[in-house]
Structure 1
Amino acid sequence: MLEEQTLTSYAPAMRYTNGQLESQFKTILENKQLVNFVESISQMVIILNKHRQVVYANNSYKDFCKQLNHDPLIGKRPGETFNCANAFNSLTGCGTTDACKSCGAVNAILESQKGKRSTKECQILTIHNDALDLEVTANPLDLDGEKLTIFSVNDISADKRRKSLERVFIHDLLNSAGAISGLSSILKEIDDPEQLKDIAQTIEDASQNLIEEIQAQRELSAAERGELQLQLREVSSNTLLTDLQKTYAKHELNNGKPIQLSMDSTECTLTTDLVLVRRILGNMIKNAIEMNVPHDTITLCCKENENSIELSVHNNSVVPNKVKDQLFKRFFSTKGQGRGLGTYSMKLLGEKYLNGKVGFTSCEESGTTFYIQLPK
C-alpha cells in the first residue's frame, strides 16, 4: 500500500497497489449478482474502493470514457477517468487539491464512506477544455468486509445547456429587444432633431448589442460541437484594443467606468481569428465592468514576448480565493444561477481553437488581470 502523502489539500491521497487492485477486481467478478446488477443499469456506474479508486466499471461508463476494457480505468479516481484538469494539477491526483473542496463528486464519495447515500452535481473542465455537467450518486457497499462505494453518474450537460439558453440567452435577448421597442415607440412623439438623433443612436447601439449576443451564442454552440471554423487574418494589436476601448466605453453595461490603453502597451501584428479574439477580450472587459469597485479604471494592454503575444484586461477588483479554482467552469458564476458562460468561453475559444493560454492573476496589491497569450 502506498504511504499517505502529506501534500494533499483535501481528501486522503493514499492508493492501493496494483496487486491489491487486481485482487479487489477479481473479488467483484466472482460476485455474479453484483456484476449483473451493475451491468443491467443504463446509467454509468463504477465501484470504488476506500481510496476512491475504480475497481470495476460497467459498459456504459467505459463507453462514456471511450475505454474498451477495464485496464485503463482500474486504479484511477473518477476525476482522472474524465480527464478533469484539476485531477492533473497535483501529483496526488483527483480529490486532493484545493479546487476539489467544492467538487460534488469527491464530496458525495466522502459522505457515502460515512454510511449514507449522497447525490450531488459536479462540474468538470477537462484537460481538453471540454465542459461536463454531471449528477453523481454515491452509495455505500460492504462486500466481504471491504468498504466500497457504488458511484453512478448521469450526464446532465444537455439539460444544463437548455436551461442556460432559457435563463440567460433568451432573457438577455428580451431585455435588448424590449429596450429597442421602448425607444422606438418614443420616436413618434419627439420633434426635436437633436433628441431624435440621440435616440436613433441609442437604438443602433442596442441593436448591435442584440446581434452580438446572438453571434456569441452561435459561436459558443459551434465551438462545443467542434464545428467552429477559424477565419485567420493579420490583426493590429493597437487597432484591436482601440476598437474595444471605444465599443465598451459606450456599452449598455458600462455606467461611466473609464477604459484606457496602457502606456506600456506594445504595437504588434498577430495572425489570428479577429472575431474570436474580440469575443474573448470583450468578455474580459465585461467582467471588469461588472466588478463593483469604487473609482475603478479598466486598462487594456498588449505585450510582445519571445514566443507569444499577450493581450490583457486589468482592473482593481480582487477574485476571492474560493472562486479562483472554479472561475473557468461552465455555468460557474458569482452573478447568480445560470450565468458563467463568459469566462468558460474565454478558455474554450482561446485554448481549444486559438492554441493560446487563457488565465488571470489576482491579489490585493495589484488587482486582477485577465490575459490571453497567443503564439506568434
Structure 2
Amino acid sequence: MHPFSTCHAPAERADSEKIIAQADLFAQRTLSRELLDAVPTLLAILNAQRQIVFNNRALLEFLGGTDAGFGLRPGELFGCSNAHLMPAGCGTAEACRTCGAVNAILSGLDGRKDSREYRLTRQEKGHHQALDLRVHTTPLFHEGQRFVVLTIEDISNQKRRSALERIFFHDILNLAGSVQGVSQILVEQPDDPDFDEMLRLLDSASSQIVDEIKAQRTLLAAENRELQVSLEPLNTRAMILQATEMYRRHPSAQGKQILTESGDDAWFFSDATLIARVLGNMVKNALEACREGETVSAGCALVNDCIEFWVRNPAVIPRDIQLQLFQRSFTTKGPGRGLGTYSMRLLTEEYLGGSISFTSTAEEGTTFRATLPLRMPDLTDSNHL
C-alpha cells in the first residue's frame, strides 16, 4: 500500500525540520503561553497537516506523560485503535470518516469553527479504554501560516452515566409496566380462562426485571475493573440453548422465529454468567434488527481449539454504522441506547479472553461471533483488570 494512501483526510505530513520550526513559534515563555499551561482545558495546536506543534500542560497530564508528541496527529497521541490502520496514520482509515475529531479539524483548516463529539477506543496497558470526548476547533493564522486550535473536553463519565441511567430506566419501566398490566387483569378478572397464561407472563416479566438489574450491575463492575471472573466447566450447546430460550418470550421476539442450529457439543472452562450476558445481547440485538416473520438463527462450533458462538439475522448493517458499532455511546436506537455491542466486546475481550467480530452482507445478512478459548487462565487472583 502506498504510504500516502487515504480513505478520508489528506495523508501528507510536514517533515521533522518544519515541525521543529513550527513548534518554536509557540515555544517562547510569553504570558499567553503561561496562561495556556495554567488553564485546565485540554488544548493542542495543529498545523495544516493535522500534526501537533503545541500541547498545554493539562493535555499532557491527562495522557499521563511528558512527551509533547510534536509531529503526531491527535489520534496517534491518544492511542486511538484506528490511528494505525493505514500507513499514513490518524485520519486516513475508512473508520475515520465518522470521526468527530478529524472532521472538526478539517473544518478548522477550512476556516470554520466546529464542535463535535469524539468517540474513540484506545489501548491502555494492554486493555481497551473507551473515551467520549467533545472537541472544539478554531482556525488560527500565525506568522503567515495556517493552524488549528483544538480544545478537548472529557465527557466520558457524563456519557456513561447518562447511557446507563437511560437504558436502566427505559428497560425497567417497560418490564414493570408489563407486570403491572398483567397483575391488574389477574386482580380484576380472577376467573379469566387465560389465568395460567397470565401467570406465566407475570413470571417471565418479573424474571426479565431481575435480569436487567443484574445486567446493569455487571456492566458497571466491568467498566470499573471490579468484575470477578468465576471459571467452571460449561457445555457449548447448553449455553447457546439457554441464550435463545431466554428470549423466545421477550417483547423483541414477537412475530419472529428463533432457530437454534445443532452445533459441536463440547465442554470448555469459562464464566457462565458473563457468557450468558454476551450471548443474550447477541440474540436480543439480532431480534431487534429483524422484522416480523423473519428468523434469527444461532449456533456454536469448534474452530482452531476455540469455541465460536454465532447469531445471524437477515438484516444488513449500513457501512457507516459498522464503522462505529463497538463505540460505547454510539447507538441507532435513540438517545442512551448504545451499550449492547460495546458491553459484548468489553466482557468478551477484557474478561473472557476471547474476541467479538461480525460480518454483514446483503447476501448473508449479519452474523455476530464470539470466539472463546476452550480453557482460559484462572483470573481469580488477578481480575481487577
TM-score normalised over the length of structure 2:
0.91
Would you say the 8 A contact 1:260–1:300 is kept in 2?
A: yes
Deviation at residue 349 of structure 1 after TM alignment: 0.9
Give 2:36's aligned residue.
38
CA distance in 1, matches of 2:35, 2:138: 14
Identity %: 38
Q: Note the 1:165-244 alignment, pairs <5 A.
A: 165-192=164-191, 195-244=194-243
Superposed, 1:96-111 pairs within 5 Å as: 96-111=92-107
Give the aligned residue type for 1:167: R
Matches within 5 A, 1:4-19: 5-19=3-17
**Change in CA separation of 1:347 and 1:299 when aligned onto 2, cut-off 3 Å:** same
Q: How does 1:63-212 map to 2 (within 5 A)?
A: 63-70=61-68, 73-127=69-123, 128-192=127-191, 195-212=194-211
Contact 2:310/2:370 (8 A) holds in 1: yes
Conserved? CA contact 1:54–1:74, under 8 Å: yes
Shift of 1:288: 0.9
- Distance in 1 (CA, whole Å) between partners of 2:170 and 2:305 is 42
| Contact 1:129–1:347 (Cα < 8 Å) also in 2 | no
1:351 equivalent among 345, 349, 352? 349
In the TM superposition, residue 182 of structure 1 has moved relative to its aligned partner by 2.1
Secondary structure in structure 1 of the residue aligned to 2:251: coil
3-state SS of paired residue (1:125)? strand
- Which letter does structure 1 place at the counterpart of 2:14? Y
Matched-pair contact (CA < 8 Å) for 1:206–1:252: no
Distance 1:225 1:54 in 2: 32
Find runs of 4+ consecutive structure 1 residues off by over 6 angstroms: none
Matched residue type, 1:91: P
Q: CA deviation at 1:5?
A: 4.4
Q: Distance in 2 between matches of 1:194 and 1:81?
A: 66
SS in 1 for 2:353: coil
Unaligned runs of 5+ in 1: none
State the SS of the aligned residue for 1:19. helix
Q: Do the aligned residues in 2 keep the contact of 1:28 with 1:34 (CA within 8 Å)?
A: no
Give matches, 1:325-364, under 5 Å.
Answer: 325-364=323-362
Q: Displacement of 1:294 after TM fit? A: 5.5
Structure with the bigger RCO (C-alpha within 8 Å, sep 6+) is 2
Shift of 1:81: 1.7
Q: Which moved more, 1:162-171 or 1:308-317?
A: 162-171
Q: Deviations over 1:76-108 (max 9, x none)?
A: 211122221111222221111121111111111
User: Partner letter of residue 123 of structure 1?
Assistant: R
- Measured on the aligned residues, the alpha-carbon RMSD in Å equals 1.7
Which one-letter code corresponds to 1:280 in the other structure? V
User: Any idea what SS the aligned residue of 1:314 has?
Assistant: strand
How far apart, in 1, do the equivalents of 2:352 and 2:93 lie?
A: 28
Shift of 1:168: 2.3
Unaligned runs of 5+ in 2: 375-385
Distance in 1 separating the partners of 2:35 and 2:146: 18
Deviation at 1:240, TM superposition (A): 0.7
3-state SS of paired residue (2:40): coil
Q: For 2:55 and 2:273, how far apart are their aligned partners in 1?
A: 43
**SS of 2:11 mapped into structure 1:** coil
Distance 1:166 1:347 in 2: 20
Query: Separation in 1 of the partners of 2:295 and 2:322?
Result: 22
**Match for residue 273 of structure 1 among 261, 266, 271:** 271
Q: Contact 1:297–1:316 at 8 Å: present in 2 too?
A: yes
